[in-house]
Structure 1
Amino acid sequence: MTPALVVVLLSALCHLGVGPLGEQAVDHLLNWPERFAVDAILVPAACLLTEQGWPASDWPPTRRLRAHCLDHLARRIAEPLVAPADFARPSRVDCSCAHCRELSLFLADPERSVWVFKAAQQHRSHVKYSIRRDQCDVSHETERRGSPHALVCTKSQASFERRVAQRQKDLEDQARLLQPLGQ
């Protein structure tokens, strides 16, 4: 499902004058968030519907979808946006092997900014995979001196930077949804 398909669906139901089916469609969209992601599908669709203008933009099912999206954005915008005060980073790593536990301890440590992990290639690759999969706030590079080689991990502010970018997008989407209908 794409935002454009949601727009076509709700616009068609509006033009056919079948409000109850429109309400059912919006119920379905809102009740299946893993299939109809708010940020990827519903907010862009609500923005498009708002911008396309009357009649679909002011139709009760569309207004309800827009209100849901505005509420979602307002809740996230209200969350505090503060850069990390020290080197402690979120340390949730899904894997619980010994190497990933070391990674998790490093991430939680408020005083360490760099971790040097000397290990065989397969273990370094596994730790790199865990960093990517769990979106850890760490950049890494392989130091190829000595044996075994070392994976040098340096803490970053990647999740904070993602939240800053998300906040900017949320504010832009909120402004689009709050503009007068059809503009």
Structure 2
Amino acid sequence: MKEIIKSQYKSPVYNVQAVPIEKIQANSYNPNAVAPPEMKLLYQSIKEDGYTMPIVCYYLADIDRYEIVDGYHRYTIMKTHKDIYDRENGLLPVVIIDKDISNRMASTIRHNRARGAHSIELMTHIVAELTQSGMSDAWILKNIGMDADELLRLKQITGLREIFSNKEFSNSLEFKQE
């Protein structure tokens, strides 16, 4: 079956390999940075869901190592979290691309830029649905990776009274009706 898959499909994802993390190294050209809150969310995602996307690498045959093209932050999670390392037995899912350095650099940028951004409208809808289904703010903050200010802003955008129904508000501002 493996030979059928290899001959039928050309995409690297059909040939994922389990590679010891000690044989994997970062590249020197990735301009992408991930802020601490997103790294925390990435850790939680890998902890809860496992590795759902392989690391993209180029094989350096002369030194028998794999250089990361895409997936540096997923790699970093395993390097910095013993629980993930132990659970995965120190192995990362890797796919190999065979490209020269210029094309690997271009591939890294394409991977970084293709991730996109979340739509505010869709995020407010998700927050509203989660709240209406009984999920607490603490649950949403933890599982969606938001901070309290962002959650409040998304709730305010929706304009749904139900979202604030379980909150107490102070009477610090009172308006006089005339």
TM-score in terms of structure 1 length:
0.26
Q: More strand by proportion, 1 or 2?
A: 2
Q: More helix by proportion, 1 or 2?
A: 1
TM-score in terms of structure 2 length:
0.27
